[in-house]
Amino acid sequence: MVSGIGRPGVMVGHFKALLRSLRPCFCFLLLALTVMTVSRLFLISSHAGQMTGVSSMVGIMERGWHFDMVVICGVLLVAMLVQWLAPGGFLRGTLWRRALVTWLVAWLMLIVWNEAATPDFIAEFGVRPNRLFVEYLDTPTEIFLTIWAAHRSALLIGVALVAGSGFLAMRLMRATVAHVPPWPLRLVILAPLLVVLFYGMRGSTGHRPLGISYAATSTDPLVNDLPLNSTYSVLHALVQMAHEADALEAYSHLPDDEVLRRVRAGMQVPAVAFKDPLQPMRHALLPTGPAGSKPNLVILLQESLGARYVASLGGLPVARKIETWRSRSLWFDQLYATGTRSARGIEAVSAGFLPTRTNSVIKLENAQHDFFTLAKALKAEGYRTGFIYGGDSSFDNMRRFFLGNGFDEVLDWSDLAPKAQFMTTWGVSDEDLYARVNEEASRRAGEGQPFFLLVFSTSNHPPHDFPDGRIDLYEEPKMTPNNAARYADFAVGNYLETAAQSDYWANSLFMVVADHESRVSGDGIVPVFSFHIPAFIAGGPVRPQIVSRLASQIDLLPTALSIMGIKADIPATGIDQTRRDLVGPGRAIMQFHDTAAYRVGDEVVMLAPGQAPRQFRVDGRKLVATDIDPELARDAQAITQLPVMAYQRGWYR
C-alpha cells in the first residue's frame, strides 16, 4: 500500500493536483463544444428555409451534441490513457505538458478549420465536408488555386480563425504540475472518467454505438448533415475510404469493356436497351404486366428466415404458414441471398445492387443521396414511399440511406413502441410491426395514391424472444432459433391472410423474402447452400407460378417492377424472372467475407483475394472440385468487378 493514500486530506490533495493537471482537457472540451455549437447554429440560421419548425431545430442541436461529444471524448480518451498509464516522472515533466497541449490545440485547430470550410463547401456540394474534402488533397496545387480564385475570403477567414483559436487555446491550456498521484490512486480517480469518456466516444450505452444514421431525420441530405460536425463527417469518410481502397484489386482485374459486355450478356438484355454511354448499365425495363394499373407494393423483408425453416426447400417443417403460399404466388424454389448480413439483403432487395468486398452501399458515403433504389423508381411514377422497421432504423445506417434515396418516411420502434404489446432487445414484436403495416396500408390505400412500403422484421433474431402462447413450439425450451422462426412465420402469415381480406389486396403486390439465412455453415470456401432463402410474390395482380430456375435476391427488383407494369430505365443488373424468353439454368451471386461465389446452374466459381479462381460442381448437398472453365471464371470476375465500378463512377446515381 502506498503511504498516505488512505488519509482523507492526502486524498483531497491528490485529487486537486490531478484536476490542475487536467486543466488543458477541460479547456479543450469547452472550446471545441463552443466552436461546433456556434457553427451549427450559424448553419441552421443560414438554411432556416429547409427546416420544418422549431422542433426540428431543437432536435438538430440535441443530436448534434451527441456527435460533438463523440469527437471530443475520442480526443480526450487518448490523453487520459496516458495520464493513467505513464510514469509519474514523465507526467511531471515539461515534455508531457507540451505534448498534451500540442495534441489538444492541434485537434481544436482542425475542428475550427473544418467548421470554417463548411459553409462554402455546403454552397458548392449541398452537404457537409465528406470524402470529396479528402480526395481533393490528391491535387493540392489545383485545389488551392481553385479555392483562391472562388473562395478567397472564406480561405483567409478560415486561416485567421484557426490561428486565433490556436493562440487562445495555447494561452488557456497552460498547466503546472507540482505533484502527480501514485499510479494506483490515479486509477481509482481516473477510472470513472475513463468510463465516461469511453461511452462518450461510443455515443451510446446501448448494445450499438452511435452511427451516422442517427443524424437523419429528413429526405433533405443537408438537413440530415446539420446534426453532424464536419470533423466527424470527414473522419467517417476516411474510415469508409480505407475499407474501399482494395476492392478492385481483390480479384483479377478485367478491362472495363469486357466487364460491361459480360454482365450485359448475363442479363439477357438486348444491346439496344443500353442507350447512355455515360450510364452504361442503365437500360429500359420492358414489363410483362399490364401498364397503367400502378398496383401498390409491400415488401416484407424477413430477418434470418432462411430455407432451413421451409420443408419444400429442403429444410425443417418450421415455417408452415409461408409454405401455404407455394401454390398461391409467384414462388421461387431456387433463390439465393447475396450475403450473410442484413445490409446485404437490404441493398439487394431495395436497390438491386450486387455485393462487393466493401461494406454494403447502404453504409458507403457516395450512396447516401441520389442513389438508385426501388423507391426512387416508383416515386417517379407517382408513388408515396415508406420504410417500416420493428427495431432502431439507425442500425446499419438504414434511416440515412433510405431518407436520402427516395423514401418519403421512415418509421421504427420509437414510432411503434407506444402501441406495442411486446418488446424485445431488437424492437417490437413482428405482430406489433404488422399491425402498424396494416394500418399504414389501409390509410394510404384510402388516400388514392399508389404506395410502396418496405417492411423489415426483427423477431427472428437472437435472443429469439417472442410473446408467450402465440405458437405451438417446435421444440423446448422456448427461446431457440427454430421457435423464433416459427413465430416470425406465424406473424407474417397472419398478416398476409388479413391483407388478403382487405380492400387494398386486389391492387397490391406482396413480396416476402428473407434478408439472409440465420446460420451460415457447411463445407467449401463459400458455403453456398447456406445462402438459399425463401421468396414469393403474392397479391391481386399475381399469376401463381413456381420459378424453378436459379435466381438471386437482385432479381426481385426488376421482377416486381415488371409485374406492376412499370416501364422504367434502371441501372440494376437483376433479371426479370417473369420473362418467357430466358434461357439457361439461371445464376446466383454470393459474397462471403472476402470470397465471392458465382453459380450458374450446378457450376460454381469462387474468387478469393490473391488466388486463382476455383471451380466446383454441385453434387446433391456437396461441392466437388472440378477443372476451371476460363469463360465462366471471367464471367465471375466481371460480375464482382462491376458493382465497385458502378459505385466509384456514379453509374447508380
Distance CA 498, CA 515 (A): 23
List strands edge to edge, sheet with 622-626.
587-592, 595-600, 603-607, 614-619, 622-626
Q: Is the pLDDT of residue 178 over 60?
A: no
- Residue 2: per-residue pLDDT: 44
Distance CA 127, CA 222 (A): 5
- Residue 203: per-residue pLDDT: 86
Torsion of CA 360, 365, 371, 372, to 10 degrees: 0
Across 28-42, 78-92, 193-207, 439-453, least confident range? 78-92
Q: Is the pLDDT of residue 274 over 60?
A: yes
- Residue 641: per-residue pLDDT: 94
Higher pLDDT, 174 or 193: 193
3-class SS of residue 50: helix
Q: Is the pLDDT of residue 290 over 80?
A: yes
Mean pLDDT is highest, among 10-24, 44-58, 149-163, for 149-163
- Domain ranges within the chain, ordered by starting residue: 8-243, 286-634
Across 17-31, 430-444, 568-582, least confident range? 17-31
Q: Is the pLDDT of residue 379 over 60?
A: yes
- Sign of dihedral through CA atoms 199, 204, 207, 212? negative
- Residue 191: per-residue pLDDT: 81
- Residue 1: per-residue pLDDT: 40
Distance CA 245, CA 211 (A): 21
Helices (H) and strands (E) in the chain, counts: 21, 16
Higher pLDDT, 154 or 373: 373
pLDDT category, 245, cuts 50, 70, 90?
A: low
Distance CA 364, CA 472 (A): 42
Gyration radius from the chain CA atoms = 28
Distance CA 319, CA 412 (A): 25
* CB contact at 8 A, 454 and 407: yes
- Residue 214: per-residue pLDDT: 86
- Residue 546: per-residue pLDDT: 97
- Residue 161: per-residue pLDDT: 93
* CB contact at 8 A, 244 and 250: no
- Phi, psi (5° rounding) for residue 571? -90, -5
Distance CA 652, CA 281 (A): 8
Q: Is the pLDDT of residue 177 over 70?
A: no
- Give per-residue burial for 367-381: e unless 16+ CB within 10 Å, then b: bbbebbbbbbbbbee
Tens-place pLDDT, residues 535-557? 999 999 999 999 999 999 999 99
- Residue 240: per-residue pLDDT: 76
Across 8-22, 121-135, 504-518, 607-621, least confident range? 8-22
| H/E run at residue 587 | strand 587-592
- Residue 12: per-residue pLDDT: 64
Tens-place pLDDT, residues 297-347? 999 999 999 999 999 999 999 999 999 999 999 999 999 999 999 999 999
- Residue 3: per-residue pLDDT: 43
State mean pLDDT over 622-649: 94
State mean pLDDT over 477-506: 97
CATH architecture assignment, domain 286-634? 3-Layer(aba) Sandwich (3.40)
Q: For every residue of 491-552, which 3-state class applies, written as one string?
A: HHHHHHHHHHCCCCHHHEEEEEEECCCCCCCCCCCCCHHHHEEEEEEEECCCCCEEECCEEE
State mean pLDDT over 615-629: 93
Cell 439461371 belongs to residue: 586
HSE of 475, CA atoms in CB hemisphere, 13 A: 11
Tens-place pLDDT, residues 351-371? 999 999 888 999 888 899 999
Q: Is the pLDDT of residue 248 over 70?
A: no
* CB contact at 8 A, 553 and 587: no
Higher pLDDT, 365 or 490: 490
Mean pLDDT is highest, among 141-155, 235-249, 431-445, for 431-445
Rounded to the nearest 10 degrees, the angle between the axes of helix 8-21 and helix 23-46 is 50
